[in-house]
Structure 1
Amino acid sequence: MSATPEPQPRITLIGKPGCHLCDDARAIVERVAGDLGVGWHEVSILDDRELFERYAEQIPVTLVDGRQHDYWRVDEARLRAALGA
């Protein structure tokens, strides 16, 4: 029996440690992803120069299915709508 691969996370949260807006965004993303049963992951702009150059002034940034969805704040209802809830 082989393990089935995990589906690609639908939500990506881009932020950095110590960012209070990122903490707020993470709480919303965790709640919405948990409610809807979708995967999510978080990446730090400090670990990726390209992300740093692109998003340093916008974090936190959320991507849905690889496309930029929101920045600075996560609107829970808008995120749910984007995920088809």
Structure 2
Amino acid sequence: MSSAVSPQIVLYTRQGCHLCDDAEVLVRKFVSDITLVDIDNDPELTQKFNTCVPVVEINGKVRFRGKVSPMLLKRTLAAEAKQATGRTS
């Protein structure tokens, strides 16, 4: 994947969540710079995402809840990169 523009990725997780661990490993295969947020440290996030973790947010949009599909993640990141290279700043 081209590193011209790196997407902003936030991975909402919680301790003891094996799907969260799996999601982190998978996301890091494509993007090394991600932000991890433990929802249990924020009551608002706990209420919002409670049993839906992991939640993957890409460029401010929630793209995955629960199990993350490798193929869909790859396609989503490619689409985000394509869209970003078409933008002018």
TM-score by length of 1: 0.77
Runs of 4+ displaced beyond 4 Å: none
**Identity over aligned residues, as a percent?**
32
Q: 1:75 pairs with 69, 79, 85, which one?
A: 69
Q: Are the aligned partners of 2:7 and 2:77 in contact in 1 as well (CA < 8 Å)?
A: no
Q: What is aligned with 1:25?
A: 23
> What secondary structure, in the 3-state scheme, does the structure 1 residue paired with 2:15 have?
coil
Letter in 1 for 2:54: P
Give the structure with the larger helix fraction. 2
Q: 1:58 pairs with 52, 55, 69, which one?
A: 52
CA–CA distance in structure 1, aligned partners of residues 43 and 12 of structure 2: 12
Unaligned runs of 5+ in 2: 80-89
Q: What is aligned with 2:40?
A: 46
1:32 positional shift: 1.5
> What secondary structure, in the 3-state scheme, does the structure 2 residue paired with 1:17 have?
coil
How many residues of Structure 1 are paired with residues of Structure 2 in the alignment?
A: 75
Unaligned runs of 5+ in 1: 1-6
